[in-house]
A and B are shown apart, each in its own frame.
Chain A
Amino acid sequence: MSYYLYLITSVGGRAGFGIAADYKERNKQYASHSGDIVKFSFIYQGQRSHAKALERTIKTQFADNIWVVDDWKTEWLISDVPMSKLQSYVEELINERHYKLELLTTDYDFTQGEVVNG
């Protein structure tokens, strides 16, 4: 069963990340909470353990870029770190560390339904 790592752009333009078994449902939840359509700028598909390992790596080794509010480490980046930097970091990790994940789609929101072959 596939698992997904998504890179999200908030309504305000902040870059973030997360993992999900059901990317469509997860995207819908973001829309519900933010009151707007929210884009998953990139969705990677692959092995669950590798998606989780990659997410953990972002949290630990990309720590200087994580947005921390009141000592709470969020799954969003500080505002001056663009999505392009997060995406190239993720690509680098996948290529260099051989994580079994591949790009499924870009610029996704739940209104698009399931991605073909997703």
Chain B
Amino acid sequence: MAKITMREAISQALSEEMDRDPAVFIMGEEVGVWGGTYAVTKGFYDKYGPNRIKDTPIAENAIIGGAIGAAMVGQRPVAELMTINFAFSAMDYVVNQASKLHYMFGGQFTLPLVIRAVGGGGRQLGATHSQTPDAIFAHFPGLKVVSPGTPEDAKGLLKSAIRSNDPILFIEHATMYQVRGDVPDGEYLISIGKSKVQREGKDLTIVTYCKGLELSMKAAEELSKEGIEAEIVDLRTLRPLDMEPVLESFKKTNRAIVVEEGWKSYGVGSEIVSRIYEEAFDFVDAPIIRIAQKEVPLPYNRTLEQAALPQVPDIIAAAKEVLK
């Protein structure tokens, strides 16, 4: 067990899986000679060479389409999208091909494919480079969508994703690469599709994932000083969605808020709240509140951008509101 960054945890997962299985290779923009635009694959090119660390043209259809083809014939590519915003250029491959080829051909093709993508706002990159569109991708059956909130989960989930025979979109947050946490050395696997209680509490349930986990943990510490103990359930996987820990927690606290970085309308929170109302209506003691991004394209200006993104005080205020 060592305290390492999210970046190191992801890097470790990739290199361990490449060492373990020669079918695993990486392809994407600037993953090789450059070392990865977020330095996740720094040193990989020298260690593994150009055949296993493939620098691609800036051509997202070729990257994801190409990775799909290679996966169909038995390789295990990890394709990297420099940012998830570029997934829109390759939308057909993510939602129309990766998520459907197994089903549509009666199970003949399998796609052991991981698409790593960096998402999230907060870096003043302007509206087209700062999105958190996770819910869009989680909408499609056939695709699995994973988005870790701690270095430990990042390592365990990515290693499992690479070993999975399903196409998996693995979403990392651009502002979380320096987050530190305890991560087990070597072999460490976490099942895809399992939510986890990251903090125990009795007064209310906060359902969240990825960046929302970081914010919610901070909010919970503040609330604790005022005698409010929040239980935090981290979804970790958006599809398939594991509601069991959420419902179990809610049946105990009877009050919940949902925290996500994407827009509120048609978002992850909408799904979670609907499911709670459908499956635990008798346990509802207060209307559930959704914390999400303001309904605007993210602006460049730092003050405006931060005003649009969910913040710790928003969570604290919502927690007090549901406890009224």
Whether chain B is bound by chain A comes out as: no
Residues of B within 8 A of A (CB): none
